[in-house]
């Protein structure tokens, strides 16, 4: 009986392969939507639009960016999670909803590496240590560290909120510098930057949003938490140059809902990596202060796992408190 069935199985397999192969080869046959779980106009949105225009040229299809902000990224990513498993809806992924919120929000409801297939880690971001120009008009990192160490527990630092990447990275930085300072959490980075610029708070690790304050002469950058100097702060040394082994772990990547066929994931991965490597895209990202990466989906998965573990360890140790 098995002998008689073998030809039928062989025919069915051949037909399935014959159908799947042309379908995969033809993909994409319609526009692709990239969901950005943040408002339009922010740095994550600008980077996404810079990349997706080039990705569209690689794939020969229109790539549409859809902004779906809310709930710290959960709303947009949930839309991606529930999308059809055909590769026509993918999402921007940052360390907040991919590594932090699953640890800090019991109602988050998304398990990133169960619900999503990583496509690529596109770029690394950076933070810069800034102080008030009025309050600390002179001196570098060494002098600033001395001022803080002279008043243990008396000086303070701002973050965009408890449990944010700014908070985790600030705790790591304070340990590296041997500083005992008080955490002052804000509801977002903008009000935190305002108060540091006004001298209400002593210092903070900030994103690209600090550049406008630096250009206006209100904030002074002391060190960049990147592996090498970056275009927006060419004259500002990295922590590594100053003898401090510290970089922040910000990144932007892209994911698809689990279940998208592997050949489609591979086409998306290849298109994103080629887009990141395009000279005009590479230059645009560099000018904005981002480090183009273009890692594979497997490499992105490892980064998400490592980031999650680092944050989980900090929470378990009690070094990071989620109380505002």
For range 58-65, the mean pLDDT:
96
Question: How far is the C-alpha of 204 from the C-alpha of 165, rounded, in Å?
Answer: 12
Q: Report CA-CA distances (Å) from 70 to 219, 298, 316.
A: 29, 28, 28
- Rounded percentage of the chain residues whose pLDDT exceeds 70: 92
- The answer as to CATH 3.40.190.10 being correct for domain 31-125+250-317 is no
Domains 31-125+250-317 and 128-242 share a fold: yes
Contact 287, 231 (CB under 8 A): yes
How confident is residue 8, by pLDDT bands cut at 50, 70 and 90?
very low
Q: Is the pLDDT of residue 59 over 70?
A: yes
| More confident call, 8 vs 310 | 310
* pTM as predicted: 0.86
Domain ranges, ordered by start, for the chain? 31-125+250-317, 128-242
Q: At CA 100, angle to CA 242 and CA 321, rounded to 5?
A: 75
pLDDT digits over 212-271, tens only?
999 999 999 999 999 889 999 999 999 999 999 999 988 999 999 999 999 999 999 999
Model pLDDT for residues 175-222, shown as the tens digit of each residue:
999 999 999 999 889 999 999 999 999 999 999 889 999 999 999 999
> Taking all residues of the chain, what is their mean pLDDT, rounded to a whole number?
90
CATH 3.40.190.10, domain 128-242, yes or no: yes
Q: Is 251 helix (H, G, I), strand (E, B) or coil?
A: strand
Contact residues for 297 (Cβ-Cβ < 8 A; gap 6+): 117, 118, 119, 120, 265, 269
């Amino acid at each position: 009986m098995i002998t008689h069935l073998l030809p039928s199985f062989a025919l069915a397999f051949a037909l399935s392969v014959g159908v799947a192969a042309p379908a995969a080869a033809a993909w994409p046959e319609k526009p692709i939507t990239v969901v950005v779980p943040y408002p339009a106009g922010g740095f994550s949105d600008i980077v996404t639009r810079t990349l997706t225009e080039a990705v569209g040229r690689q794939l020969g299809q229109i790539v549409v960016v859809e902004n779906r902000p809310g709930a710290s990224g959960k709303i947009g990513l949930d839309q991606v999670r529930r999308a059809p498993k055909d590769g026509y809806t993918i999402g921007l992924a940052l360390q907040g909803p991919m590594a932090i919120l699953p640890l800090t929000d019991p109602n988050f409801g998304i398990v990133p590496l169960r619900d999503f297939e990583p496509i690529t880690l596109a770029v690394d971001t950076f933070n810069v240590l800034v102080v008030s120009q009025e309050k600390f008009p002179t001196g570098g990192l060494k002098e600033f560290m001395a001022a803080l160490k002279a008043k243990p527990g008396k000086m303070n630092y701002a973050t965009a909120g408890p449990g944010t990447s700014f908070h985790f990275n600030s705790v790591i930085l304070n340990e590296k510098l041997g500083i005992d300072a008080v955490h002052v959490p804000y509801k977002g980075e903008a009000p935190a930057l305002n108060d540091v610029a006004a001298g209400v708070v002593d210092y903070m690790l900030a994103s690209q949003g600090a550049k406008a304050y630096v250009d206006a002469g209100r904030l002074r950058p002391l060190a960049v938490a990147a592996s090498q100097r970056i275009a927006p702060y060419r004259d500002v040394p990295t922590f590594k140059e100053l003898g401090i082994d510290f970089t922040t772990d910000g990144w932007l990547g892209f994911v698809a809902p689990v279940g998208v066929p592997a050949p489609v994931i591979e086409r998306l991965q290849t298109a994103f990596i080629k887009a990141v490597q395009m000279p005009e895209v590479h230059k645009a990202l560099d000018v904005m202060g981002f480090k183009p990466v273009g890692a594979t989906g497997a490499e992105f998965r490892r980064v998400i796992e490592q980031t999650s573990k680092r944050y989980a360890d900090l929470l378990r140790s009690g070094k990071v408190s989620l109380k505002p």
